[in-house]
Amino acid sequence: MNVLVTGAGGFIGHHLVRRLKSEGHYVVGADRKAPEYEPSAADRFFNVDLRFKNQAELAFQSVGKYDEVYMLAANMGGMGFIETHKAEIMYDNTLISLNSLECAKNFGSGRVFFAGSACVYNTDLQTDHKSGGLSEEMAYPARAEPGYGWEKLYTEMLCQHYREDFGLETRVARLHNVYGELGAWRDGREKAPAAICRKVIMADRGGEVEIWGDGGQSRSFQYITDCIEGITRIIRGDYPHPLNLGSDQAVTINELFGLAMDIEKKQLTVSHIDGPLGVRSRNSDNSLIKKELGWAPSVPLERGLRNTYFWIKEQIEHCRSGGDIVDAASTLLDTTEGAL
């Protein structure tokens, strides 16, 4: 097939390009940045800003017609970023999605996948740990997470209307906290597993690490290989409505720190400080994806976190040996707790 991946320079997009190439497809990537940690496997890579329709058209018309389009491009980051850049995120991502869907329609694309988010869920249902997993119908009545969540919910509806009005075959996944190797691990764009691994790695034995809040907020975290498998199954499946794509193995942030410390048997003191927290509890209910696609994620958090931990450790060691100022690494400890 001819396939386009927008956001191909990002974490999930880069992994997806590698997967699609391994299946033998001709893959075009589009992003305003190249992958950070290794070259893209794409057959062709367009360095374009999808907020501008004329630049989006360059990528969408490059092979005549795409059999599959994966809409992963977005301006996003960890909780410290999305809590302080709401207008920027909504503006940028709305333009990216509008241009991508319009180009997919105009250039006769086949199936289109949109990477949504669990941030669309009603925040009133995520105030304590008794609420359990979030099933797909719980996005309504709508009270999405401010900024990022509302934009994702709006684009879900946009995908639905492009399908109904123009016959564009759209598929939507609500992603729950994806983590793994080759993802952001510093500078404020990283999410909780990467931020926590970095803090534990860089702390001296017997030292101290900081957690935003009391650490009792809980989340589920999905390893990147499970995410990529789920994405390809969703776009090629027959279910046209949003589906959860995440793990249902919820842990608290304190427990996630404990798992990271256990990897190298580090005993550290935890200091709780003020910071952006997001909702109190969020977990994925995977009943519908199991029913519709017969699939569930398979990588346990302990294994995925270990893989991520040692990859981040390699990056830190590389920075130190290459003269990247990892004294500024002490400042890395305070950048973010990640998207929760």
Cα 16 from Cα 337, distance rounded (Å): 25
> Of 148, 162, 223, 309, which is the active-site residue?
148
Residue 265: count of CB within 10 angstroms of its CB: 7
CB proximity list for 68: less than 8 A, separation 6 or greater: 1, 3, 4, 25, 109, 110, 111, 112, 113, 235
∠ CA(311), CA(336), CA(187), 5° rounding?
A: 60
Please give the structure tokens belonging to residue 24: 């033998």
* Cβ contact 266:208 at 8 Å: no
Q: Is 148 a catalytic residue?
A: yes
Return the half-sphere exposure (C-beta side, CA atoms, 13 A cut-off) of residue 290.
11
Strand segments (E) across 235-320 = 243-245, 250-252, 269-273
Q: Would you please indicate which residues are annotated as catalytic (active-site) residues?
A: 148
